[in-house]
Amino acid sequence: MSDKEALKRQAAHRLREAQSTRVPCAPVRDLLDGMSVKDAYEVQSINIDIDVQSGACVVGWKAGLTAASVRQQLGVDAPDFGALLNTCGYGDNEPVPLSRLLQPKIEAEVGFVLEHDLPTRRVTAADVMRATAFVVPALEIVASRIQNWDITILDTVADNASSGLFTLGLKPVMLKDVDVGAVTMSMTSGGDVVSQGSGAACMGNPLNAVVWLANTLCDLGQPLRAGDVILSGALGPMASVSGPSRFEASIEGLGTVRAEFVDG
């Protein structure tokens, strides 16, 4: 094993250890110094492969850092992606145990579910529209294994795009029945508005984010497939989750989706 490969494995182990011990770790960029974003994705893949070998399966993908407001919050300047595992999905209003999360935050998104495989070539919005079975309101519960969210693009990519858990609304809407680029979003907790935004905040239109994700994955030899769940990216700023609490996001034309965080 080369020194470079050994460092990537050290980075993966540092992140995995943080998750298992429930103690956030130092950033991994020191280990990836001089490496590329592609190398950080290889770190991500090491831990995803371990999860799959342990019985989990990849059920979709998330586009991250698609909203300028979120990139500003985290001090990064490019979108990224991460894998969604079947062990990380929760239904609308299903209790979400805080014990599964490190430093959680929450953001509202448009979730896409594919009915057909996307082509094994670069795609357009028309390809995505034809392939989509339905869309739903979604909450992505992001979490960082890295202490105090002290991240660069290398850190968050290696950390599976700071993925935690996700919640999908349970009333599907046909894509043709809603203009996802024009929707507005409001998320509340305890009666207070904690985030507001719109479809336009997600790369101009959530469809654009799915196209970006599809083409990025296709270039890596992993085209999107029928049944994949796609979280297209935040419609507004992230909100912090501090202790037991309840969040509800309303997305115009899609309805509402709720997450209740509980001890345990």
- 227 assigned to some structural domain: yes
Quote the pLDDT of residue 138.
98
Quote the mean pLDDT of the chain: 95
> Can you count the helices (H) and strands (E) in the chain?
6, 13
Nearest to 170 by CA among 136, 141, 139, 140: 136
- Please report whether residue 243 resides in a domain: yes
104 lies in some domain: yes
Query: In the chain, how many domains are there?
Result: 1
Looking at residues 32-36, what average pLDDT do you find? 94
Q: Output the six-digit token pair for 38.
A: 């592609």
207 and 180 Cβ atoms separated by less than 8 Å = yes
Domain ranges, residue 191: 57-262
- Average pLDDT (172-183) is 97
Q: Is the pLDDT of residue 169 over 90?
A: yes
Using pLDDT thresholds of 50, 70 and 90, give the confidence band for residue 65. Answer: confident
In a domain, 258, yes or no: yes
The answer to whether residue 21 is domain-embedded is no
CATH assignment of the domain containing 185: 3.90.850.10
In a domain, 35, yes or no: no
- For range 143-154, the mean pLDDT: 95
The per-residue pLDDT for range 66-104, each reduced to its tens digit, is 877 777 777 777 789 999 999 999 999 999 999 999 999
Tens of pLDDT, residue by residue over 14-27, are 999 999 999 999 99
The predicted model scores a pTM of 0.94
- At 186-222, the pLDDT tens digits run 999 999 999 999 999 999 999 999 999 999 999 888 9
- Whether 17 is covered by a domain: the verdict is no
